[in-house]
Structure 1
Amino acid sequence: MGTLQSFFKVEQPSPKQKGWSLVLLILFAVILYWPSLNYGFVLDDKKVITENAVTQGGEDSINTIWATGSKTFQANVPEDAKIARPLSQTYFALCFDNNLTTEALQKRYHRGQIALYALLVFLIFFLLDKYFSHLSLGLRCIVLALFIAHPLHVEVVANIKSADELLASILLISSLIALPYSTTSSTHHPAYRGCLIVLSLFLFVLGYKAKQNILMFSPLLIALLFLEIYKTLPKAIQKHGYSYRWHYGLPMVVVLLTILFYKGPDNVPLVQIYALDFEVYQTIQSTYSRAHNTFLGMASTGEIVANSLWTTCLSLAKMIWPRNLVHQYGAFQIPLTSWQSIKPFCGIGLGGILLGGIYWLLRGPGQFQWAMISAALFTLPLIAYSHLFIPLPDTYADRFFFLAVLGLLLLIAEAISRTSLKPFWITGLSALWLMAYSGKVIQRMPAWESDTSLITADWRQSPNNASILARYASHVEEDDDKKENLYLKALSIYPDFFGAHYDLARLYFSQHRYALAYKHFNQASERKASDDIQYNLTLCRYHIVRNKSQSAYASNQLDDAIQLLDSARSIFPGDRVDPQYREMTSNLAKINFEHNARDTAYELLAKALKQDSNHLVYAQEGLNMAGNAKNSSRAVEFGLYFAPSRLDDSTYWTDLENLAQGNEMLLEQIKLRKSEIFSAR
């Protein structure tokens, strides 16, 4: 018990205590995620590595990756969706080896994930030692152990592509560690402090090159830099500045409220206008619509704020205890609410409690920086991903709150340090909490073994999530009837779901259920128009009309069959040399011939031969028809199409002359054609 008491004393721990604590924490992180070594490439791993020729270029691709304007991080994505993460892609490229088997390559990258996670744990340990030395070593180790075992981190560690998240976090923590920090203004020479500031900014910029979401922590870095500069000022100036805090604090609050409630051009809330200028989200406003994200369909600022508050409540609940862990939690799947519901008021109440708690902690003894760091790590991701300022696309993933968890745990640790709770109870409750988190990690981790296991696990956990239902139907389910039911269920949950409409239309088309395919292609087109969808719509119309023609022909309604088949030919979206088009033309000519519209049949085939002269089946069919009808003139006309390939065939020319026997004009025509071909040779 004495050892436990000393572990929770706020005093400078011995190097041995710190060393063993760090080693045990790193071992815990490695052991917890060791099973992921046998996992494969999942989801975007393929776009970043296995399908990415630039990444596979290894060292030879470094110049391409870092070239100005280069956006090669993901392969096989639309041009407007391409992004640049050169530092992360450099890591992936340097790890790639063409000589390794797929299994060996997967294991190499997963080893890298565990190593990066261990490095992050190492750096966070020293971040806590620097800024949170007022907390006991025991509390700091508990915070870091709970952070390591938090279930939300499974996606970041078990998914290879999320190395970008780990690299960005490593560089952010390094940037905070590099910042000069002291309790007096004269500890270091100004030049030395300046070098540390430059190093910190450089590391932060490198983090941006790993993943752009590090920008949400820029207010924290700016505030810490401001405090460092402020501390170098004479005490008199510091006191004077503090006495005027409301003179610059109040205008800042007014500006924030203006941004929150002012509506810009076209009644668009100002809170989302600035996203248009942010590189990562630049295309989201223009290419995403209400069909992809319900937040983008909201015209009312009040509606956005209400739903953002409720979203924040859901996010906080996931950070404390993530009951359901799913990757594809569509933004449009967040339960919508309004001010008529109690939900946004719950958000306001929770926000008030959190802000009050943070204010209480700030008023306590100790340095101000620790409170700012923990509060910023916790609140900035919540603000960024509340949808209030940045309209998110169709993914609401666990990794969004990777570092927010650390901030929350630090705030809880600080609150515990202000109480008289005994070390025994702190250790016991933390151990239970840690076991619960670790068990959830062990339960969730196998889902990331493959695409199929991930989507299947998500479907079982969230059977009423439209996005997951559609993904399961398209990627896992093989039975067509079950696929159809899954898509229909997804659309019953979210009728504006573009992806479900499109995939269901393709399923119906493959089953030759063209009317239903047309219906859902049309629904998809209303939500997001594209040339591909328009082509498929035309193709559906063609098949529908052609099927009607075949039915009319089977019922001996030749007039209707001819009219419908002619319409099908006119709307056919393919080329004139397409086998389907050729077959339709031949069938139409045959039906006309059967209907005694023989001249129409001849003209149809003759016109088709002018458009598609290499398809001599038309000529053969015309020759057969004319022969059956004993129309020597038409027979010779179609027979002459074979002349270039039958020039030396005397039997062919004799047969033609026999057909034209007694008709000097036809004989002259045959003679002239033969002469032309000989001259051309």
Structure 2
Amino acid sequence: MQKNKSKKNSKAEPVKEVELINNSSINRFYIYGVIILFCFILYGNTIPNDYALDDAMVITSNQYTQKGFDGIKNIFLYDSFKGFNENMLNGVAGGRYRPLSMVTFAVEHAFFGDNPHISHFINICLYAFTCVLVFIILSEFLKKYPQRNWYTSISFIATILFLAHPIHTEVVANIKCRDEIMSLLFSLLTLWFLIKYFNLNKTLFLFLSAFCFSLALLSKEIAIVFILIIPLTFYFFTDIPIKKIILSILPLVMIAIIFIVTRQMIIGRTSVDTVFAKSLMNDSFVYMNPSQKYATITYTLGMYLKLTFFPHPLTWDYYPYHIPIMEWSNILVLISFALMIFFIVVGLKGLKNKNFLSYCILFYLIPLSITSNILFPVGAFMGERFLYASTLGFTMVIAYLMIVKPKPIFKTIFAKPLLFLIPVLALYSFKTINRNKAWKDTFTIVETDVKTSANSVKSNGEYGQHLYNRAEKLTDPAEKARRYEYMLPYLEKSFKIDPNQPTTNFILGTLYGRYKNDLEKSIYFLNNAMNLDPANISPYNNLGTAYGITKQYDKAIEVFEKGLKIEPQNKEILNNLSLTYKMLGNHEKSQEYANKASVIPDPKK
């Protein structure tokens, strides 16, 4: 690789260069071993974890994944959530085409069944491979910078800080987020094969780069940002002519176009259109005006910066309104806006002189621009996984300032680089290992993060629902009552934020009927649940029963009969219709429904 000979990249005094990865394969693989070992030290405690959160959508409740090899064809042919939606009474909004990671889940299921421990182990291996590749690529491009030994080189420090950054716990510890890992991994392989192409001038590597880019896009759409990042990388760190750089990425552009067209055809044909597609759960900005929307987006960009520098507290849930609705009059919004403008200006200003810090800033901002909700909604205000690639830009900045020390202040701060690096790595490591424990299973992560995302409709609702499901399995009435009392505030808070949640309405209606004996409220919530999700049989029986207890028999019959249209062989509803007609004195109808119920096996047996 040719080196950029521009002297404007840094104002630091030249330091005698020491070859970081010399000709000794022992030295090279020793460094790789350190990186891989550190990955397993930080994330090894995720291997005993179970599935969590959205793992159900792509693995345990996805019929295509559950078919193993036989499901792979449909994984490529349909929206990534179609196999999940077909198993559900109501689906979630579609619009995702990420088949490659799901193929790996299907293959794993074919060999091991539903085994989260194997999946966690594979996630760690892929993450370790990614970090090794980060180090290799940085070592190739950063040969010109001072490196007295491998562990105080920009390449190694940037890699090890990237590896340890706690913001990545969601990506590695949540099996479903393998799409993020694979997308970045194959994007970096695309860059690596282009390096080999320019170094060796062999067309084979051009084809390999195009193939890897296809795999990156099939893992997750975010890989498309590397159409900008790759040429910028060659421009900043080599003397390769711009024309040659552009020609080298034309195959990637063509592949991206083909992918976008294919993706749109598949999503447009198969994505699920549900009553929830425009709900608060799928469009966080649905109740905001344009000014509030972009003020809130600007605020979240500032939050991303904050989490990049100080990754605490972490949460899986950035749904409304963990991030509150913001106005342009808010000082935090204005600070975020000023910082974004500053970084954009610095990033663009350094293009001409190929300034290293400008490159790092652009590397940070480009992936974030796609997931920021500016161009299109991503389903939530923000997400820690959306910082995955961007954090590499951040860690390169820190490593550069530590080693090159372009200003006198950095010579003071980083006089002894290891005195800064070791404590930071220790804090990162402690946070990462501790955070992994929260990803033990769905209940643990929800219970942990409801304290952080206390104002989120999602966390409060999910926590209340999990508590309800657990309480329903109890046999001790006193303990069950205590659990009901404990969960009610979470469900009511979730309802207050967004009253259009069918499951929350159903549980509230059930609790107010069975536990609180407030049938008026019970009927209100159960009616909401039925109207919000008419295809779900659950509210009909409880609502009809509540009408029956309040002697509104005609309404009870109407609700029960609606339920039978959905599920004609529902024994419980048939028995309740029989009882309702008996209360009205219509013994003929009562016996008719009793006879129908008697021939249906008890579902509990």
Give the structure-1-normalised TM-score: 0.67
**Aligned twin of 1:255:** none
**In 1, distance between residues paired with 2:146 and 2:213?**
29
**In 2, distance between residues paired with 1:285 and 1:383?**
28
**In 1, distance between residues paired with 2:597 and 2:157?**
82
Match of 1:34 among 25, 30, 44: 44
Kindly indicate whether residue 489 of structure 2 is the aligned counterpart of residue 485 of structure 1.
yes
Match of 1:432 among 411, 423, 426: 423
Q: For residues 289-438 of structure 1, what are the structure 2 equivalents within 5 Å?
A: 289=278, 291-292=280-281, 293-300=283-290, 302-359=291-348, 361-362=350-351, 364=353, 372=359, 374-394=360-380, 396-416=382-402, 417=404, 418-419=406-407, 421-422=410-411, 424-438=415-429
Q: Is the 2:68–2:108 Cα contact (8 Å) retained in structure 1?
A: yes
Amino acid at match of 1:481: E
**Aligned twin of 2:229:** 220
**In 1, distance between residues paired with 2:272 and 2:53?**
22
Task: Extract unaligned runs of 5+ from structure 2.
Answer: 1-13, 148-152, 245-262, 472-482, 599-605
Q: For residues 252-291 of structure 1, what are the structure 2 equivalents within 5 Å?
A: 279=267, 287-289=276-278, 291=280
Amino acid at match of 1:504: L
Distance 1:73 1:216, change over 3 A: farther
**In 1, distance between residues paired with 2:15 and 2:438?**
38
Match of 2:209 among 200, 206, 213: 200
Q: Is the 1:542–1:572 Cα contact (8 Å) retained in structure 2?
A: yes
Q: Is the 1:85–1:209 Cα contact (8 Å) retained in structure 2?
A: yes
Distance 1:532 1:441, change over 3 A: same
Q: Is the 1:329–1:468 Cα contact (8 Å) retained in structure 2?
A: no
Pick which of 349-358 and 535-544 moved more: 535-544
Distance 1:396 1:319, change over 3 A: same
Q: Is the 2:93–2:277 Cα contact (8 Å) retained in structure 1?
A: no
**Aligned twin of 1:636:** none
Q: Is the 2:505–2:529 Cα contact (8 Å) retained in structure 1?
A: yes
**In 1, distance between residues paired with 2:520 and 2:99?**
47
**Aligned twin of 2:550:** 548
Pick which of 474-483 and 65-74 moved more: 65-74
**In 2, distance between residues paired with 1:541 and 1:214?**
48
**Aligned twin of 1:472:** 463
Q: Is the 1:48–1:161 Cα contact (8 Å) retained in structure 2?
A: yes
Q: Is the 2:574–2:594 Cα contact (8 Å) retained in structure 1?
A: no
**In 2, distance between residues paired with 1:9 and 1:498?**
67
Match of 1:518 among 519, 523, 528: 523
Kindly indicate whether residue 89 of structure 2 is the aligned counterpart of residue 89 of structure 1.
no
User: Deviation per CA, 1:383-411, whole angstroms, max 9, x where unpaired?
Assistant: 22322222132474321211111112223
**In 1, distance between residues paired with 2:597 and 2:420?**
85
Distance 1:335 1:510, change over 3 A: same
Shift of 1:483: 1.2
Distance 1:66 1:494, change over 3 A: closer
Shift of 1:316: 1.2
Q: Is the 1:208–1:215 Cα contact (8 Å) retained in structure 2?
A: yes
User: Deviation per CA, 1:466-520, whole angstroms, max 9, x where unpaired?
Assistant: 4222222111463111111221233455666666445423433554644213323
Distance 1:350 1:60, change over 3 A: same
User: Deviation per CA, 1:117-142, whole angstroms, max 9, x where unpaired?
Assistant: 11111111112122333334522211
**In 1, distance between residues paired with 2:305 and 2:547?**
55
Q: Is the 2:47–2:117 Cα contact (8 Å) retained in structure 1?
A: yes
Distance 1:89 1:345, change over 3 A: same
**In 2, distance between residues paired with 1:294 and 1:109?**
31
**In 2, distance between residues paired with 1:115 and 1:588?**
67
**In 1, distance between residues paired with 2:452 and 2:156?**
32
Shift of 1:279: 4.3
**Aligned twin of 1:582:** 578
Q: Is the 2:465–2:504 Cα contact (8 Å) retained in structure 1?
A: no
SS in structure 2 opposite 1:578? helix
**Aligned twin of 2:150:** none
User: Deviation per CA, 1:549-590, whole angstroms, max 9, x where unpaired?
Assistant: 3xxxxxxxxxxxxxx54554455434498122222222222x
User: Deviation per CA, 1:408-445, whole angstroms, max 9, x where unpaired?
Assistant: 22233345522354564322112222111111112211
Q: For residues 617-632 of structure 1, what are the structure 2 equivalents within 5 Å?
A: none
Distance 1:567 1:465, change over 3 A: closer
Kindly indicate whether residue 191 of structure 2 is the aligned counterpart of residue 176 of structure 1.
yes
**In 2, distance between residues paired with 1:199 and 1:86?**
20
**Aligned twin of 2:249:** none
**In 1, distance between residues paired with 2:467 and 2:44?**
27
Higher relative contact order at CA 8 Å, sep ≥6: structure 1 or structure 2? Answer: 2
**In 1, distance between residues paired with 2:416 and 2:235?**
39
**In 2, distance between residues paired with 1:352 and 1:615?**
70
Amino acid at match of 1:30: F
**In 2, distance between residues paired with 1:219 and 1:130?**
19
SS in structure 2 opposite 1:295? coil
Amino acid at match of 1:199: L
Distance 1:279 1:230, change over 3 A: farther
Q: Is the 1:504–1:517 Cα contact (8 Å) retained in structure 2?
A: yes
Q: Is the 1:518–1:537 Cα contact (8 Å) retained in structure 2?
A: no
Q: Is the 1:276–1:285 Cα contact (8 Å) retained in structure 2?
A: no
**In 1, distance between residues paired with 2:243 and 2:529?**
62
Amino acid at match of 2:525: H
Percent identical residues: 22
Match of 2:136 among 126, 134, 139: 126
**In 1, distance between residues paired with 2:452 and 2:527?**
32
Shift of 1:524: 5.8
Amino acid at match of 2:459: I
Distance 1:357 1:435, change over 3 A: farther
Q: Is the 2:495–2:504 Cα contact (8 Å) retained in structure 1?
A: yes
Distance 1:581 1:490, change over 3 A: closer
Shift of 1:143: 1.0
**In 2, distance between residues paired with 1:470 and 1:616?**
35
Shift of 1:379: 0.6
Q: Is the 2:577–2:590 Cα contact (8 Å) retained in structure 1?
A: no
Pick which of 90-99 and 348-357 moved more: 90-99
SS in structure 2 opposite 1:482? helix
Amino acid at match of 2:20: P
**In 2, distance between residues paired with 1:541 and 1:53?**
31
Distance 1:56 1:578, change over 3 A: closer
Amino acid at match of 2:241: K
Q: Is the 1:130–1:177 Cα contact (8 Å) retained in structure 2?
A: no
Q: For residues 554-565 of structure 1, what are the structure 2 equivalents within 5 Å?
A: 564-565=552-553
**In 1, distance between residues paired with 2:514 and 2:233?**
60
Q: Is the 2:295–2:326 Cα contact (8 Å) retained in structure 1?
A: yes
For the aligned residue pairs, the C-alpha RMSD in angstroms reads: 4.2
Kindly indicate whether residue 19 of structure 2 is the aligned counterpart of residue 12 of structure 1.
yes
**In 1, distance between residues paired with 2:394 and 2:298?**
18
**Aligned twin of 2:477:** none
**In 2, distance between residues paired with 1:13 and 1:134?**
11
SS in structure 2 opposite 1:108? helix
Task: Extract unaligned runs of 5+ from structure 1.
Answer: 1-6, 235-274, 550-563, 590-603, 618-681
**Aligned twin of 1:113:** 123
SS in structure 2 opposite 1:585? helix
Kindly indicate whether residue 540 of structure 2 is the aligned counterpart of residue 531 of structure 1.
no
Q: Is the 1:304–1:388 Cα contact (8 Å) retained in structure 2?
A: no
Match of 1:149 among 152, 161, 164: 164
Give the structure-2-normalised TM-score: 0.75
**In 2, distance between residues paired with 1:607 and 1:476?**
39
